[in-house]
Structure 1
Amino acid sequence: MRITIGKAAALLVVAVLLGTAVQGVAAAVPRVEWHDCGDGLQCGSVRVPVDWGDRASARIDLGLARLPARDQSRKKGTLLHNPGGPAPAIEYLPLMEGALDELTEWFDVVVFDPRGFGASGGVSCPEPVPFTLDWGAPDRAAYDGFATANRAFADRCAAAMGPLRGKLNSWQVAHDMEAVRVALGQRRLNYYGNSYGTVFGQVYAELFGHNVGRMYLDSLLDHTSPDRYPWTVAKAEVSERNLHRFARWCDREPACALHGRDPLATWDRVVAAAERAPIPAPGASVPATAGLILGQARVGDERDWPGFALAVAEADAGDASRFVPRLPPPPGAIGPDLAGVMMCADFPYETDYRAVRRLSDRLRDTIAPRLGRTDAWYPAATHCAGLPRVGTYPPRPLRPRGLPPVLIASGSADHVTPPGHGRNVARQLPGARYLPVEGGHALYWSGNPCVRGHVHRYLLDGTMPATDATCPAT
């Protein structure tokens, strides 16, 4: 396309107005060209380097999708959203419309597939990610078996990754987000990150804080703790607390299968029995080891409590079938091929079996004797054991410059992204506000009206919750 002097001057003005991007992100990125892609969505893309550290590297197209504001004449701006995973988002956007509908009263809501996923150069590995049920406290043989399978998966997927191998981490994604900001024509980026999307948000705030307008981080996963122990303690405390909440419910609820018994003592007896020898699980694919039972415990969501109580009662009687899925998950059911690859690049914590076992034992002997010790095995025994360490961007304290106040919220019962993570990051961001919520994961998505009210006021005009504000459960 021929560019006239007038057009070139206009592009220069746009680049100046948008601000000079740093660390190799070109300010004059072409604007997104949107097209209709069905279900009321508009789709587009942004072309970015595979490696933001090498301007001469190959290019990929980042996929974008937009839910336009319902009344464009009253639109307040654009809100970039990543729902987490890490995983594709665009293909699921029609299912998310209801959860995001209120936001489209004021914003064009744009989602993106992170590099390597979906419409952003999505990688399909020749075989699925390995899966193990026995991860809650695996023995050495189970752990080594998973690590061997995971290494074989990575080796066989290396060719499919191509130039993206070693380039799947939050540092690269944050630079992608900066390119998206410029391509959307936004002087400042408004961002709503959920779950793993908060990792991208933290790194963007560190690298491009001066380009942030509003940032809401929901169910935050802390990417600032180099020491794995406090990072894991925050999770373990919630897991242990959830088990005690379950026990108190059982004591007062006649419908609980353990009512009238000591729920915690019964749980201890089941785990101890499984540690001596796997508990039979007639009709299931495998017997129930202690690692399997601990890994399959579901106590964070109150809706799971009746089923969990029944599973514990039956296991105490010698049948642990309810802890064992009847069939192994189909390929792809445990997440996209590269979810673990990106997570382990961002969180390259120690995966040596003896080191993880020591952490688990330390938790068992201090704050988490019953259930929380299983959090020591995440993500080592679920994603990272055996994976080569390439292209890592480890957690580090945040020192953002020019960042406006950020709103962070976490659910009290969420052990995956626990309140301790949100509070720790909020302390590192000047002017940030932490909103405690009684609830679980993905608070805005869950429809909590208190959370939604605070988020809307913040995104619209920057109004923060009061310093003593809290939100009850829905």
Structure 2
Amino acid sequence: MWLAGLLATFAVAAPAEAAPRTGLSWQDCGDGLLCAQLTVPVDWTDPDGARTTLSLTKLPARDQARKQGVLYVNSGGPATQAPLLRNPAFAGLTDAFDLVVSETRGFDTISCPMGPLPAGGEWVFPDRSAYETYVEENQQVGRACAEAAGPLAGKLDSRQVAHDLEAVRTALGERKLNYFGNSYGTVYGQAYAELFPRRVGRMYLDSVKDHTNRSILDWVLPRATTAERNLHRLAEWCAREPSCALHGRDLLAVWDDVIRRAEQEPIPGGGTTVSATKILSRTDPQVEQQWPMLATALAQASAGDATAFAGSPPPGAGGPGLGRQLICADFPYPSDYRELKSLETKLRTVAPRLGWVYAWQAAVHCAGLPVPPTYAPHPFRANGLPPVLIVNGEGDSTTPPQWARRLASQLPGARYVPASGGHARYLSGDACVRGHADRYLTTGALPPAGTRCG
């Protein structure tokens, strides 16, 4: 078990039924948006202690006379939220709701250095020495980030954010919180639903990051198997599609040959050479629209030119140090090299071509961080929670569908809708998903049992 030091969730008193208005002072901040600030405790277990400020942005409903209230939105990341309000995907909701976002605590006030890149910008480290060097670098960034955070250091987990959400709900004068959470925003949604279940109005969770699983193997395994399955789906598509650069060839055999050759001697490309682990780190076949480019890149590598795999590091390999603090406060991950190699070996038995690299991905964020986790995963517990709508792409290796199904099984009355495709179905423009989500958020009507998209 990876969470032997699991911290118990502290109990909170149920808030009074009426939600008093605290009088947010909204100011015009351009482009039709309104901005305000809300002061909240740094530590919600010490509500009379130090304070911090949340930045809020609102896109008012087009018809104020007919609006239903407020829909709070979090797109995940952790990342800046305000630009999300201009996503055209929300056009179907802006008649019914004021759309409101708040920047995750500290994210717009703390200046942390960028996190280090793994050796060569790869997920997989070539040896123990390279990994230990990276751990030291990440630890140094973590110390600098904790110093920059000041009193917020160690107070950035999703439990604290859930209390921030409750403060936002109260400040908005809303009796219930209507919530739209995507990707990491689903972690905040889970925390809020557990701490304040009777304050939830309608909650839509897309591309779920499971915060209920204590087993590191059980948590990583779905990512590995989904990535492996996506590689097989790519091969099946290529066999059917004449325009595929490897049509008429066995794509999986080509993959095996390219990886074997790159392991023996890195393949030239882009003015450098490209290792097998770099090819593995740059390959993510979950987005079907990118399959033609990926097949072409693989064909070129097979012909001796790996330029297409020599470019930017994989998503999330670097990134702001503060984002690592937030994520690893919620999802502690082993840092011991031997433990990670053991996990890699286990994943190789079920995902031998590609999926096993996920043994290392979270370690890139959490290895060596000096601030311990403060809100570790645990089974979900909530009484009085209304039905929640959950959607996940069946090909999503970022937040695999097994995570969403696991969460749905623990939420009374929840409805899970599987969708074809990869990550962030609503924000990616999936019309079927958007139709069901918009109908649920505006009317409360869940899709019929057994509904699928795509």
The answer to whether structure 1 residue 353 and structure 2 residue 337 are counterparts is yes
Q: What residue number does 1:380 align with? A: 363
**SS at structure 1 position matched to 2:267:** coil
Q: What residue number does 1:363 align with? A: 347
**SS at structure 2 position matched to 1:80:** strand
Q: What residue number does 1:398 align with? A: 380
The answer to whether structure 1 residue 427 and structure 2 residue 409 are counterparts is yes
The answer to whether structure 1 residue 263 and structure 2 residue 245 are counterparts is no
Q: What residue number does 2:194 align with? A: 206
Separation in structure 2 between the aligned mates of residue 397 and residue 138 of structure 1, nearest angstrom: 36
1:168–1:391 CA contact under 8 A, matched in 2: no
**SS at structure 2 position matched to 1:420:** helix
Q: What residue number does 1:443 align with? A: 425
The residue type equivalent to 2:106 in the other structure is G
The answer to whether structure 1 residue 62 and structure 2 residue 44 are counterparts is no
Separation in structure 2 between the aligned mates of residue 467 and residue 170 of structure 1, nearest angstrom: 30
Separation in structure 2 between the aligned mates of residue 57 and residue 271 of structure 1, nearest angstrom: 56
Separation in structure 2 between the aligned mates of residue 324 and residue 412 of structure 1, nearest angstrom: 29
Question: Cα offset for 1:471?
Answer: 0.8
1:298–1:305 CA contact under 8 A, matched in 2: no
TM-score, normalization by structure 1: 0.88
Aligned match for 2:75, one of 83, 92, 115: 83
**SS at structure 1 position matched to 2:107:** coil
Separation in structure 2 between the aligned mates of residue 353 and residue 152 of structure 1, nearest angstrom: 18
Question: Cα offset for 1:147?
Answer: 1.5
Moved more, 355-364 or 415-424: 355-364
1:29–1:179 CA contact under 8 A, matched in 2: no
Separation in structure 1 between the aligned mates of residue 407 and residue 450 of structure 2, nearest angstrom: 18
Aligned match for 1:288, one of 247, 251, 274: 274
The residue type equivalent to 2:334 in the other structure is E
The answer to whether structure 1 residue 31 and structure 2 residue 23 are counterparts is yes
CA RMSD of aligned residues (A): 2.0
**1:112-141 CA-partner distances (Å, limit 9, x unpaired):** 1100112xxx2112x322123121464323
Q: What residue number does 2:139 align with? A: 151
**1:355-399 CA-partner distances (Å, limit 9, x unpaired):** 11211111111x211111112212112x11121242521111101
Change (3 A) 1:328 1:214: closer
Separation in structure 2 between the aligned mates of residue 291 and residue 349 of structure 1, nearest angstrom: 21
2:114–2:318 CA contact under 8 A, matched in 1: no
**SS at structure 1 position matched to 2:269:** coil
Structure 1: state its 5+ residue gaps: 1-14, 20-27
Separation in structure 2 between the aligned mates of residue 420 and residue 276 of structure 1, nearest angstrom: 36
1:88–1:113 CA contact under 8 A, matched in 2: yes
Separation in structure 1 between the aligned mates of residue 387 and residue 270 of structure 2, nearest angstrom: 55
Separation in structure 2 between the aligned mates of residue 248 and residue 427 of structure 1, nearest angstrom: 32
Separation in structure 2 between the aligned mates of residue 258 and residue 144 of structure 1, nearest angstrom: 39
Question: Cα offset for 1:190?
Answer: 0.5
1:345–1:390 CA contact under 8 A, matched in 2: yes
**SS at structure 1 position matched to 2:416:** strand
Separation in structure 2 between the aligned mates of residue 226 and residue 43 of structure 1, nearest angstrom: 39
Change (3 A) 1:109 1:442: same
2:125–2:131 CA contact under 8 A, matched in 1: no
Q: What residue number does 2:447 align with? A: 465
TM-score, normalization by structure 2: 0.92
The answer to whether structure 1 residue 73 and structure 2 residue 56 are counterparts is no
1:187–1:211 CA contact under 8 A, matched in 2: yes
**SS at structure 1 position matched to 2:268:** coil
**SS at structure 1 position matched to 2:90:** helix
2:71–2:99 CA contact under 8 A, matched in 1: yes
Question: Cα offset for 1:93?
Answer: 3.5
Moved more, 78-87 or 350-359: 350-359
Moved more, 201-210 or 347-356: 347-356
**SS at structure 2 position matched to 1:280:** strand
**SS at structure 2 position matched to 1:63:** strand
Question: Cα offset for 1:95?
Answer: 4.0
**SS at structure 1 position matched to 2:421:** coil
Separation in structure 1 between the aligned mates of residue 212 and residue 334 of structure 2, nearest angstrom: 16
The residue type equivalent to 1:270 in the other structure is V
The answer to whether structure 1 residue 235 and structure 2 residue 217 are counterparts is no
1:406–1:431 CA contact under 8 A, matched in 2: yes
The residue type equivalent to 1:261 in the other structure is R
**1:186-214 CA-partner distances (Å, limit 9, x unpaired):** 11111000110000000111111111011
**SS at structure 2 position matched to 1:408:** strand
Structure 2: state its 5+ residue gaps: 1-14
Separation in structure 2 between the aligned mates of residue 76 and residue 353 of structure 1, nearest angstrom: 52
**SS at structure 1 position matched to 2:116:** coil
**1:271-324 CA-partner distances (Å, limit 9, x unpaired):** 22223343333414xx32222111100311122222212222222233322111
